[in-house]
């Protein structure tokens, strides 16, 4: 079983990363990663990138260390993406299983995750910071479901240095374990403190404005709602998962997923559908699979 799982993980990683780099090559040019993505990375490493990218330090630090290796930058990024996806699929399997579902259903969830990834490349570069965050969120989900609170705090602190989705770690904690609301508040406070400290140390930088140039708020939300690429991408990525999740019953966990999706419509360019991989994997797939009658689920969500 272990060998089979490793082979599945490697195969899905190769398939999804190959699809991603093929998209990048076809739409941006075969040398995009080596030159343009490296230029963007250098801006982040040199603290000259716009917000919020300049505050996403964890992955930038890791890539900076790896960039010193005697290999081409594009080769290094490709290797990083392969490792990231292998970790995502491996952790996703254990995360899904932590809800009490059978191994077969957990594997099905991993396959659905891989399918969704292959519809998550619109206007996307390698997005190493994003996929690092997926690994972090899965680790946080496992810590929540198994009650490993010290590990959750450690993961949350690391997450605060990587991306803004950190705010959904306490949201997931309250949704899955309402009795741990004080810990959730502490994690949220830690994120606010870390983020504020980074802005003080690195200098304040206004939000870059996103794809529409509107910044955060209502106008960005409207632009996302009336963008056909948003809905075509989401329909391909999500399929029937939200419907199956709704059939499992209305609960705090489902509300967390809905809030997560809504947050991207207000704060980001929703046509970049890779963003929605996180609520899909963290909330909608577990709810959808746990709602199937033969999954032998253990309802751990409130």
What pLDDT is recorded for position 2?
66
Taking Cα atoms as reference points, which of 157, 142, 139, 174 lies closest to residue 260? Answer: 174
pLDDT tens digits along 156-184: 999 999 999 999 999 999 999 999 999 99
Question: CA-CA distance, 239 to 224, in Å (whole number)?
Answer: 19
What pLDDT is recorded for position 292?
65
Is residue 191 classed as helix, strand or coil in its secondary structure?
helix
Question: CA-CA distance, 93 to 91, in Å (whole number)?
Answer: 5
Backbone dihedral angles phi then psi of residue 226, each to the nearest 5 degrees: -100, 15
| Domain span holding position 186 | 2-290
pLDDT tens digits along 201-218: 888 776 665 666 677 888
Taking Cα atoms as reference points, which of 256, 92, 7 lies closest to residue 101? Answer: 92
In a domain, 157, yes or no: yes
In a domain, 165, yes or no: yes
- Tell me how many domains the chain contains: 1
* Mean pLDDT to the nearest integer, 264-272: 91
Residue ranges with strand state E in 117-213: none
Query: Encoding tokens for residue 75?
Result: 């080769």
Choose from 23-27, 235-239, 278-282 the range with maximum mean pLDDT: 278-282
What pLDDT is recorded for position 207?
67
* Sole residue written with tokens 């374990």: 177
In a domain, 297, yes or no: no
Helix or strand holding residue 229 (H, E): helix 228-238
Judge contact between 166 and 56, C-beta under 8 A: no
Backbone dihedral angles phi then psi of residue 10, each to the nearest 5 degrees: -65, -45
In a domain, 301, yes or no: no
For residue 292, count other CB atoms closer than 10 A to its CB.
Answer: 16
Query: Encoding tokens for residue 108?
Result: 């099905």
Largest CA distance in the chain: 54
Query: Is residue 294 scored above 80 in pLDDT?
Result: no
C-alpha distances in Å from residue 204, one per residue of 42, 47, 288: 19, 11, 41
In a domain, 296, yes or no: no
In a domain, 298, yes or no: no
Reported as half-sphere exposure (CB side, CA atoms, 13 A), residue 52 has a value of 16
Between 181-202 and 168-176, two packed helices, what is the crossing angle to 10 degrees?
180
In a domain, 101, yes or no: yes
Query: Is residue 293 scored above 80 in pLDDT?
Result: no
Query: Is residue 300 scored above 60 in pLDDT?
Result: no
What pLDDT is recorded for position 1?
62
pLDDT tens digits along 253-265: 999 999 999 999 9
Against a cut of 0.85, is the pTM above it?
A: yes
What pLDDT is recorded for position 11?
95
Query: Is residue 280 scored above 60 in pLDDT?
Result: yes
Question: CA-CA distance, 76 to 83, in Å (whole number)?
Answer: 11
Query: Encoding tokens for residue 229?
Result: 């690429």
Q: Is 131 exposed, middle or buried (0-12, 13-18, 19+ CB in 10 A)?
A: buried
What pLDDT is recorded for position 302?
43
What pLDDT is recorded for position 247?
86
pLDDT tens digits along 38-93: 999 999 999 888 888 889 999 999 999 999 999 999 999 999 999 999 999 999 99
In a domain, 191, yes or no: yes
pLDDT tens digits along 103-119: 999 999 999 999 999 98
Judge contact between 122 and 156, C-beta under 8 A: no
* Mean pLDDT to the nearest integer, 90-107: 93
């Amino acid at each position: 079983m272990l060998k089979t799982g490793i082979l599945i993980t490697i195969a899905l990683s190769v398939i999804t990363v190959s699809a991603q780099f093929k998209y990048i090559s076809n739409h941006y040019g075969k040398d995009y990663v080596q030159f343009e993505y490296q230029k963007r990375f250098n801006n982040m490493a040199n603290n000259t990138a716009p917000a919020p990218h300049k505050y996403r330090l964890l992955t930038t630090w890791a890539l900076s260390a790896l960039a010193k290796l005697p290999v081409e930058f594009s080769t290094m990024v490709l290797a990083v993406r392969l490792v990231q996806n292998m970790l995502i699929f491996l952790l996703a399997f254990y995360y899904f299983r932590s809800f009490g579902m059978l191994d077969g259903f957990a594997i099905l969830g991993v396959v659905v995750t891989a399918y969704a990834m292959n519809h998550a490349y619109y206007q996307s570069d390698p997005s190493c910071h994003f996929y690092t965050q997926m690994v972090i969120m899965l680790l946080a989900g496992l810590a929540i479901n198994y009650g490993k609170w010290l590990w959750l705090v450690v993961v949350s602190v690391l997450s605060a240095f990587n991306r803004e989705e950190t705010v959904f770690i306490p949201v997931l904690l309250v949704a899955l374990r309402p009795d741990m609301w004080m810990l959730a508040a502490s994690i949220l406070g830690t994120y606010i403190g870390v983020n504020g400290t980074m802005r003080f140390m690195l200098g304040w930088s206004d939000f870059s404005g996103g794809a529409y140039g509107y910044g955060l708020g209502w106008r960005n939300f409207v632009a996302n709602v009336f963008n056909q690429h948003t809905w075509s991408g989401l329909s391909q990525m999500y399929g029937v998962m939200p419907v199956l999740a709704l059939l499992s019953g209305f609960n705090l966990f489902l509300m967390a997923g809905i809030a997560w999706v809504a947050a991207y419509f207000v704060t980001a360019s929703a046509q970049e559908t890779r963003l929605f991989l996180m609520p899909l994997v963290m909330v909608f797939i577990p709810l959808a699979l746990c709602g199937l009658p033969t999954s032998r689920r253990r309802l751990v969500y409130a």
